[in-house]
Amino acid sequence: MNLSEIPQIIAEIKEILDGRKIRLMEVCGTHTVAISRSGFRPMFAPDIELLSGPGCPVCVTPASDIAKSIWLAENGKIVVTFGDMMKVPVNGTSLLQLKAQGAKIEVVYSPLESLDIARENPSEEVVFIGVGFETTIPTIAGTIKVAEQMKLNNFSVLPSAKTIPIPLDIICQSPDIAVDGFILPGHVSVIIGAKPYSFIAEKYRKPGVITGFEPMDIIDGIYLLVDMLKNDAPQIKIAYKRVVSENGNESARKLIDEIFEPCDSDWRGIGILPNSGLAIREEYSDFDAQRKFNIPDFPDAKDNPACKCDSVILGILKPTDCPLFGEQCTPQNPQGPCMISSEGACAAYYKYGE
């Protein structure tokens, strides 16, 4: 298949549907960006509606967790974070605003860079904000392990990691979202494999396809989903076999299990989901910023009440349904994480003119 064949293949997919209208959710934020960039949403409409899901880690991080990172910065810690976290507003402020006011906040591309900062500032506490899914969790786990080996006592992690499969169970049950099938995340699945998604087909009889991020990967994934729906034969299929296997990356999973253990976790727009997060194990508690600094909870932490990110990440609303989208909320003046994060649905819709 080459790019010039895509319009013909889309026509074939619509022909297979034979007038049936379906809703597919792309779980991963990178898929959302790729679909928007390729212009697939209008090309498949109205036969196939492509919904964005909860696969943007910054977008699903609740305001209370972001308030904790702000508390750390306000209390003199060197806060180290990925760039997407900097602009997320909570209670009228953000890490970016605090940095402008002189707080010690550093942006990195890898958690391992935090260790260099800790070595260079031995008399100060350095805290990495551990936001991410299974894609980045092994690197965070590896960073904690290296910090222990180096005896970096001034380094810790504020854990806010989440795992992807559990919220999909909530989405499968929701009559409001009414998803017929899932475009499953490529990056996450490199680590966890295909098996953790089996409940989608077995329990809910909905198909899922793990696919890559090139236009032809996405088209192939949608084709497989439509074929399974037509034949009422739901399975979890891998259309990204060049990097994804049934069992995933065993070494990465072992590293995660060594450093972390499952815990209940709060998801923006969903609430507390049992065993959907990861807490640092007792053996590595010296590197747990939550325990080390006894960080308070922030149950009253608030986003902009007019922002609809909580509904966008569940596919209940499209970004264009939010009253702030494109007017009060733009990449230059973002009001919520879905416009701030490079993987956010609102940012993708705005950038590519959807």
Write the CATH number for 26. Answer: 3.40.50.11750
Mean pLDDT, residues 12-37 taken together: 96
Mean pLDDT, residues 288-316 taken together: 93
The domain boundary, picked from 238, 261, 284, lies at 238
Backbone angles phi, psi at 177, to 5 degrees: -85, -40
* In-domain check, residue 142: yes
Backbone angles phi, psi at 331, to 5 degrees: -60, -25
Say if residues 337 and 87 touch (Cβ distance below 8 Å): no
Say if residue 1's pLDDT is above 70: no
Sign of CA dihedral 227, 228, 231, 232: negative
Backbone angles phi, psi at 351, to 5 degrees: -65, -40
Q: Identify the pLDDT of residue 304.
A: 82
Q: Are residues 112 and 136 located together in one domain of the fold?
A: yes
Cα 39 to Cα 32, 80, 216, 347: the distances in Å are 11, 35, 13, 15
* In-domain check, residue 302: no
Q: Are residues 77 and 152 located together in one domain of the fold?
A: yes
* In-domain check, residue 299: no
* Domain residue limits at 223: 3-53+165-238
Say if residue 345's pLDDT is above 80: yes
What is the C-alpha to C-alpha distance for residues 285 and 339, in angstroms, rounded to an integer? 34
Say if residue 338's pLDDT is above 80: yes
The CATH number that applies at residue 119 is: 3.40.50.11740
Q: Identify the pLDDT of residue 221.
A: 97
Render pLDDT for 127-163 as a digit per residue (tens, 0 to 9).
999 999 999 999 999 999 999 999 999 999 999 999 9
- The 10 Å Cβ neighbour count of residue 5 is 12
Q: Are residues 67 and 125 located together in one domain of the fold?
A: yes
* In-domain check, residue 303: no
Q: Are residues 110 and 214 located together in one domain of the fold?
A: no
Q: Are residues 180 and 151 located together in one domain of the fold?
A: no
On the 0-12 / 13-18 / 19+ scale of CB atoms within 10 A, 301 is middle
What is the C-alpha to C-alpha distance for residues 304 and 314, in angstroms, rounded to an integer? 18
Strand partners, 26: 52, 183
Q: Identify the pLDDT of residue 302.
A: 83
Q: Which of 43, 52, 7, 25 is nearest to 348 (CA)?
A: 52
Q: Identify the pLDDT of residue 5.
A: 85
On the 0-12 / 13-18 / 19+ scale of CB atoms within 10 A, 128 is buried
pTM above 0.85, yes or no: yes
Q: Are residues 121 and 139 located together in one domain of the fold?
A: yes
Q: Identify the pLDDT of residue 303.
A: 80
Tell me the average pLDDT of the chain: 95
Mean pLDDT, residues 190-200 taken together: 98
* In-domain check, residue 301: no
Mean pLDDT, residues 251-280 taken together: 96
The domain boundary, picked from 238, 259, 282, lies at 238
Mean pLDDT, residues 85-96 taken together: 92
Give the pLDDT band of residue 37 (cuts 50, 70, 90).
Answer: very high
Mean pLDDT, residues 203-226 taken together: 97
Q: Identify the pLDDT of residue 4.
A: 79
Q: Are residues 157 and 66 located together in one domain of the fold?
A: yes
Q: Which of 82, 130, 75, 123 is nearest to 106 (CA)?
A: 82
316-326: buried (b, 16+ CB within 10 Å) or exposed (e) per residue?
A: bbbbeebebbe
Mean pLDDT, residues 218-232 taken together: 97
Q: Which of 162, 110, 109, 106 is nearest to 140 (CA)?
A: 110
Give the pLDDT band of residue 92 (cuts 50, 70, 90).
Answer: confident
* In-domain check, residue 272: yes
Say if residues 82 and 43 touch (Cβ distance below 8 Å): no
Q: Are residues 170 and 221 located together in one domain of the fold?
A: yes
* In-domain check, residue 304: no
Say if residues 148 and 115 touch (Cβ distance below 8 Å): no
Cα 254 to Cα 138, 141, 187: the distances in Å are 9, 10, 17
Mean pLDDT, residues 260-270 taken together: 94
E strands along 12-81, which residues? 22-28, 48-55, 78-81
Q: Are residues 153 and 283 located together in one domain of the fold?
A: yes
* In-domain check, residue 314: yes
Q: Identify the pLDDT of residue 232.
A: 97
Mean pLDDT, residues 104-109 taken together: 97
Q: Are residues 330 and 274 located together in one domain of the fold?
A: no
Give the pLDDT band of residue 311 (cuts 50, 70, 90).
Answer: very high
Q: Which of 68, 115, 88, 96 is nearest to 294 (CA)?
A: 68
Q: How many domains does the structure of the chain reveal? A: 3
Q: Are residues 85 and 230 located together in one domain of the fold?
A: no
Q: Are residues 130 and 143 located together in one domain of the fold?
A: yes
Say if residues 267 and 167 touch (Cβ distance below 8 Å): yes
